Amino acid sequence: MKAAVLKETSPGERRVALVPDAVSRLRPAGIDMLVESGAGDGAWLSDAAYADAGASIVSAAEIYRTADVILTVTRPPSVSELRAGQAVIGMLAPLADPEFAAALAARGVTVISLDGLPRTLSRAQPMDALTSQSNVAGYKAVLVAAGEFGRFFPLLITAAGTARPAKVLVLGTGVAGLQAIATARRLGAVVSGYDIRPTSKDEVTSLGATFVELTSVGSAAGEGGYARELTAEERQAQQEELTGHIARQDVVITTAQVPGRKPPLLVTEDAIKAMAPGSVIVDMAASALGGNVTGSVPGETSVTGNGVTIVGAENLAATVPTAASAAYSRNISAMLLHLTRDGALAIDTSDEIQAGVVIAHDGRVVHEGVASLLQPAQPQSGQPQSGQPQSAQPQSAQPESAEGGPGVDGPSN
């Protein structure tokens, strides 16, 4: 089987799907690697390093023409060059854009998306790219905040005076939030964290941070260990009570997401106005749909009238490209090996992992959650079943209405 790595072409994307180390580990499974010349440049991985590991360095055109499987971080640059029988494995966000999956299915391309992985299965953990990339992003969010902040993070006692440590609040303590807490603690800040998942208090305190407990809103468990969406009344009470906590912070990092929904607004205009000049907010949930912070725009940094810097984080994992690629490479290699039998892809959606990640196969969208978004009208009775033919035009690509289960939307950072 020929598997191939294309150079990523999305703006700002510096990661590469596979690092040289992985090339030799795939060979015993009968997988020969093709790597587009320059694919690793953004992560400081040279063509020579891939060639030394046993890969063939080729053009993109040769990959489209000859590869059986194409490994990507995000979308392959050219859909029109993909051919029937080829497979694409990457983080393809099929619930956010089901038409993309449908377009590939129509070409006969098998679509496998790592962001559909059933993350709570322990045997799936080596393939969990959402977790590995969120870890990198959570780390970088703290460095971005520290870079914008006009003071030190640690307590510093010097002959020139004493600097008090920065106070950092992390809102949303999933994978990215917990890594942000750990990183801010390593930099010496006084850190607190807040989340509505029932297990989050123990996770936050085990990292040496203080857990913020609200009196107005308790824990709100959803499916699969995730949070549920709060009601309008709960949201308002949460925003109002958080305002008092936010006002006392130097730095706020927000990461809160509910899979398949618009990110919850946690830092309101009133909360921003209550912060001191020089404070910094990094919104990791900033997206085209809105984020956790009023006024945050992905990829933009602004300063409010009262001197609060708001960073709308965008694809932070891509800004730590070598570490992010190394971790992603382990995830995608594990997935490729899981899917490979006797030197070929063996698609079998009765396998729990494959049922989550295989989005399209044999010319059809086979993933139930994605297929339901492509229905022309509400079904009269029951929901579409996995594996049914899906020839309909897309009905909606709005993540707010996605029902495909946790994690399928893909990471925002």
Chain contacts with ligand NAD (rule: CB under 6 A): 119-120, 125, 128, 130-131, 134, 171-177, 195-197, 225-227, 230, 255-259, 264, 266
List residues bridging with 207 in a β-sheet: none
If the CB atoms of residues 90 and 193 are measured against ligand NAD, the closer one turns out to be: 193
| Smallest gap from residue 242 Cβ to ligand NAD (A) | 9
> 92, 180, 80, 144: which is closest to 313 by C-alpha?
144
| Smallest gap from residue 199 Cβ to ligand NAD (A) | 6
Rg for the chain, CA atoms, rounded? 22
Is residue 19 within 8 Å of residue 47, measured between CB atoms? no
| Smallest gap from residue 256 Cβ to ligand NAD (A) | 4
> What whole-number distance in Å separates Cα of residue 193 and Cα of residue 19?
34
> What whole-number distance in Å separates Cα of residue 341 and Cα of residue 273?
58
List residues bridging with 327 in a β-sheet: none
If the CB atoms of residues 7 and 119 are measured against ligand NAD, the closer one turns out to be: 119
If the CB atoms of residues 134 and 294 are measured against ligand NAD, the closer one turns out to be: 134
| Smallest gap from residue 216 Cβ to ligand NAD (A) | 12
Residue 351 Cα to chain centre, angstroms:
24
> 153, 96, 136: which is closest to 284 by C-alpha?
136
| Smallest gap from residue 302 Cβ to ligand NAD (A) | 23
| Smallest gap from residue 196 Cβ to ligand NAD (A) | 4
Q: Name the residue whose CB lies closest to ligand NAD.
A: 174
If the CB atoms of residues 227 and 326 are measured against ligand NAD, the closer one turns out to be: 227
Q: What secondary structure does DSSP assign to 105-166, as a single string?
A: HHTT-EEEEGGG--TT-GGGGGG-HHHHHHHHHHHHHHHHHHHH-SS-SS-EEETTEEEPPP
If the CB atoms of residues 97 and 195 are measured against ligand NAD, the closer one turns out to be: 195
List residues bridging with 87 in a β-sheet: 69, 110
| Smallest gap from residue 125 Cβ to ligand NAD (A) | 5
> What whole-number distance in Å separates Cα of residue 280 and Cα of residue 187?
16
Q: Is 282 helix (H, G, I), strand (E, B) or coil?
A: strand
| Smallest gap from residue 128 Cβ to ligand NAD (A) | 6
Residue 132 Cα to chain centre, angstroms:
9
If the CB atoms of residues 86 and 268 are measured against ligand NAD, the closer one turns out to be: 268
Which tokens sit at 101?
Answer: 């999956």
If the CB atoms of residues 134 and 372 are measured against ligand NAD, the closer one turns out to be: 134
Contacts of 230 (CB under 8 A, 6+ apart): 196, 217, 220, 238, 264
If the CB atoms of residues 315 and 390 are measured against ligand NAD, the closer one turns out to be: 315
